[in-house]
Amino acid sequence: MTIVHGTWEPRPAARWEDGFLSGNGHHGALLFGDPDDERVVVTHHTLVRPNGAEHARPPRLAAELPALQDQLLAGELHAAEGFTDGRELQWVQPFHPAFQVRLRRPTPADPDDYRRSVDFTTGVAAADGEDCSSRVFVSRADDVIVQRVTAPGLDISLDHKLPGAPHDLAVGHGAVLTSEGALLTLRARYPGSDRAYTGVTLVVVTGGRTTLTPPGLKVTGAESVLLLTRVLRHTGEPDALAEARALGDLLPDGDEDPYTHLLARHTPLHRTAYERVTLDLDADPAERALPGSELLEKHPGSPALLERLFAAGRYHLLSASGLYPPRLTGLWTGDWDTAWAGAFTNDANVNLQTASAAAAALPEVTEALASLIHGQLDDWRENARSVFGARGVMAPAHTDGESGLTYHFSREYPLHLWTAGADWLLKPLVDHDETRGEQDPRTAHALAELALFYEDFLTRVDADGHLVVVPSYSPENRPANASWGAINAAMDLSAARHALLAAAEYHPERAEDWRALADRLPPHRINFDGALAEWAWPGLDDTYDHRHLSHLYGVWPLDEINPYDTPGLAAAVHRALELRGAENDSAHGHLHHALVAARLRDGERVAHALGQVLKGDFFHASLMSAHYPNRDVYNADAAHTLPAVLVEMLVQSTPDRLVLMPAVPAAYPTGRLHGIRTRFGAVIDLMWTPTCAKAMIRPSRTQRIELRTSSGAEPLDLVAGEDHVLTLRAW
CA distance 259 to 265: 10
Residue partners of 49: CB distance under 8 A and separation at least 6: 93, 94, 96, 166, 190, 336
Cα distance between residue 95 and residue 170, in whole Å: 18
Query: Does residue 266 sit in the same domain as residue 354?
Result: no
| pLDDT score of 64 | 98
Give the pLDDT score at 241. Answer: 82
Determine if the pTM surpasses 0.85: yes
* Average confidence (pLDDT) over 551-570: 98
SS3 (DSSP) at 104: strand
Longest Cα pair distance anywhere in the chain, in angstroms? 85
> 120 and 86, same structural domain?
no
The reported pLDDT for the residue numbered 3 is 64
Q: Compute the distance between CA of residue 344 and CA of residue 330 in angstroms, rounded to an integer.
A: 9
Does a structural domain hold residue 630? no
Average confidence (pLDDT) over 395-420:
97
403 and 484: one domain? yes
Claim to verify: residue 146 and residue 42 sit in the same structural domain:
yes
Give CA–CA dist 731/686, Å, rounded.
Answer: 13
In a shared domain, residues 80 and 99? no
Question: Does residue 28 sit within a domain?
Answer: yes
Order the strands of the 657-660 sheet from edge to edge.
651-654, 657-660, 703-709, 712-718
SS3 content of the chain, % helix, strand, coil (to 5): 30, 25, 45
Mean pLDDT, residues 678-693 taken together: 97
pLDDT higher than threshold 70 for residue 591? yes
309 located within any domain? no
- Does residue 286 sit within a domain? no
Which of residues 214, 240, 275 is at a domain's end?
275
Pair (18, 144) in one structural domain:
yes
Q: Does one domain contain both 38 and 104?
A: yes
Assigned domain for 195 exists: yes
Same domain, 117 and 202: yes
Residues in the chain: 731
Please answer whether residues 400 and 344 qualify as being in contact, where contact means their C-beta atoms are separated by less than 8 angstroms.
Answer: yes
- Taking residues 676-698, report their average pLDDT: 97
Residue 725 amino acid letter: V
Query: 678: closest CA among 654, 702, 700?
Result: 654
| pLDDT, tens only, 86-144 | 999 999 999 999 999 999 988 776 777 899 999 999 999 999 988 889 999 999 999 99
Containing structural domain, residue 152: 6-48+94-275
Q: Strand ranges (DSSP E) for 449-505? A: none
Task: Check pLDDT > 60 for residue 689.
Answer: yes
Same domain for 340 and 259: no
Q: What is the DSSP string of 397-447?
A: SEE-SS--------SS--GGG---HHHHHHHHHHHHHHHHT---HHHHHHH
In a domain, 644, yes or no: no
In a domain, 588, yes or no: no
In the predicted model, what is the mean pLDDT of residues 409-421?
97
Comparing C-alpha atoms, which of 332, 420, 315 is closest to residue 29? 332
- Asked if the bond preceding 214 is cis, omega within 30° of 0, the reply is no
CATH number at residue 128: 2.70.98.50
Residue 448 confidence (pLDDT): 98
pLDDT of residue 1: 42
pLDDT in tens, 57-75: 999 999 999 999 999 999 9
d(CA 381, CA 376): 9
For residue 443, give the CATH number of its domain.
Answer: 1.50.10.10
Q: What is the pLDDT of residues 621-674, one digit of tens each?
A: 999 999 999 999 999 999 999 999 999 999 999 999 999 999 999 999 999 999
Please confirm whether the linkage preceding 215 is cis (ω < 30° from 0).
yes
Same structural domain for residues 699 and 676?
yes
pLDDT digits (tens, 9 = 90+) for 126-141: 999 888 899 999 999 9
Of 581, 598, 622, the residue that ends a domain is 581
Residue 654 in any domain: the answer is no
Q: Of the candidates 254, 275, 296, which is a domain's last residue?
A: 275
Q: Judge if 28 and 146 occupy the same domain.
A: yes
Rounded (10°) angle between helices 603-614 and 637-648: 160
Please check whether residues 107 and 77 belong to one and the same domain: no
First to last CA, the chain: 33
Q: Per-residue pLDDT tens for 223-277?
A: 999 999 999 998 888 887 888 899 999 999 988 999 999 999 999 999 999 999 9
Per cent of the chain over pLDDT 70 is: 99
Would you state the pLDDT for residue 2?
56
Phi then psi for residue 439, to 5 deg, are -90, 125
Task: Note the pLDDT of residue 257.
Answer: 95
Structural domain count, the chain: 3
Q: What's residue 244's pLDDT? A: 85
Q: How confident is the model at residue 619 (pLDDT cuts 50, 70, 90)?
A: very high
- Spatial CB neighbours of 425, under 8 Å, sequence gap ≥ 6: 346, 350, 351, 369, 373, 395
DSSP conformation letters of 189-229: E-TTSS-EEEEEEEEEEESSEEEEETTEEEEES-SEEEEEE
